[in-house]
Amino acid sequence: MVPLSWYLILSAILFCLGVSAFLLKRNIITIFMAIELMLNGVNLTFVAFANHWHKLSGQVFVFFVMVVAAAEAAVGLAIIIAVFRTRETLNVDRVNLLKL
């Protein structure tokens, strides 16, 4: 038997690793992937609690989180492509002025 807190601790570790990757990395796409990692950690919490309280609403909410993450990934990557076309760089430190 695995205590529920183990699942929650794993989810917290994934979330915190996502936050650190978000703060430490300099490539826009990698920062975006760190956001996806955070969302995955939160999904794990939802599913773990759905199992714990025997309510399936947690799993349905995971479904919605995935859909929103997919929509956000599509639009975000389109923005990154548009930024790359003008700035020719993916380094987030060089995209710091509104003027080209």
Partner 1 sequence: MVHQVLFIVFGLICVAGAVNLLVQRHPINSALSLVVVMGALALIYLLLGAEFVAAVQVIVYAGAVMVLFVFVIMLLNAGAEEQSRGSHVALWLGGPGVALLAGLIVYLMVRNQRQFNAVSIGNLADVDKGSNTNAVANLLFQKFLLPFEITSVLILIAIMGAVVLARRES
User: Which 32-51 residues touch partner 1, going by CB under 8 A?
Assistant: 32-34, 36-37, 40, 43-44, 47-48, 50-51
Exposed, middle or buried: residue 36 (CB in 10 Å: 0-12, 13-18, 19+)? middle
Does 8 sit near partner 1 (CB under 8 A)? yes
CB of 43 to partner 1, least distance (A): 7
Both structure tokens of 26: 């300099």
Q: Is 87 in the site for partner 1 (CB under 8 A)?
A: no
CA distances 15 to 23, 33, 36, 87, Å, are: 13, 12, 10, 31
- Determine if 21 is a binding residue for partner 1 (CB under 8 A): yes
Yes or no: say if 67 and 53 are a contact pair by the CB < 8 Å rule: no
Binds partner 1 by CB under 8 A, chosen from 77, 97, 99, 100 = 77
Q: Which residues, numbered 56-75, are part of the site for partner 1 (CB under 8 A)?
A: 56-57, 59-60, 62-64, 66-75
